[in-house]
Amino acid sequence: MNMVHCLSCVLLSAGLIFPSGLMAQTDPPTENRDRQVLRQRMEVLAVGFMTEELELDAETAQVFWPIFNAHKEKMWALKDRKDEARIAMAFFDDQDLTAFNELLAERESVELEEASLRAGFLREMAAVFDPQFAIRCIDAQKAFEREMRARFQERMSKEDRRALGKMGRGPGRQKPR
């Protein structure tokens, strides 16, 4: 009986030690790589959606997409700056009014630049195509955002959708069930 007990302890110990060495796992995908893949998928969906919404033919698409893509790249770069400014302000805990005003000026600058970039894009679309096309661009972009938001919410569980609906509401502001 003592021999069986020793043997079972040795096997149990070996079972705990060896499988961890034999079953090496690959590194989990980084968050950056996941974001990149998601961004590429979103871009493919956006191209299809915008092409259909704006009724782009081959000739129009050759003019539209370079302008749109250049605008999009500028907006992504600006979004990074906007996020940095927002985060810096969120974690600001200094009592120095000068430092606060500098953060506020940076955030204001980024937001004004964003409005200027959007207006420039619309002016360019109106000049290259026509004003109605520029307005349709705005509508198509908003429709795409709504469509993506709806798709994400469909994929969420009912509890997660309910929690998402409560986000941004402070204490005492929740909707009654």
pLDDT digits (tens, 9 = 90+) for 56-82: 999 999 999 999 999 999 998 999 899
Largest distance between two CA atoms of the chain: 92
Q: What is the mean pLDDT of residues 160-173?
A: 58
CA atoms of 65 and 44, how far apart (whole Å): 13
Entry pTM? 0.64
Which contiguous run of DSSP H or E holds residue 18?
helix 2-22
Residue 21 has pLDDT above 50, yes or no: no
Higher pLDDT, 153 or 61: 61
| Confidence band for 110, pLDDT divided at 50, 70 and 90 | very high
Choose the weakest-confidence range: 91-100, 113-122, 156-165.
156-165
Q: What is the mean pLDDT of residues 1-13?
A: 50
Q: What is the mean pLDDT of residues 147-160?
A: 81
pLDDT value, residue 16 = 46
CA atoms of 45 and 145, how far apart (whole Å): 11
- pLDDT more than 70, % of the chain: 72
Higher pLDDT, 108 or 157: 108
| Confidence band for 38, pLDDT divided at 50, 70 and 90 | confident
Higher pLDDT, 10 or 136: 136
Q: What is the mean pLDDT of residues 102-118?
A: 92
| Confidence band for 173, pLDDT divided at 50, 70 and 90 | low
pLDDT value, residue 92 = 84
Report how far apart, in Å, the C-alpha atoms of 11 and of each of 18, 19, 23 are: 10, 12, 18
pLDDT, averaged across the chain: 80
Reading the block at residue 147, the tokens are 């469509």
Q: Could you tell me the residue ranges of all domains in the chain? A: 35-156
Nearest Cα to Cα of residue 50 among 169, 139, 130, 161: 139
Which amino acid is located at 27 in the chain?
A: D
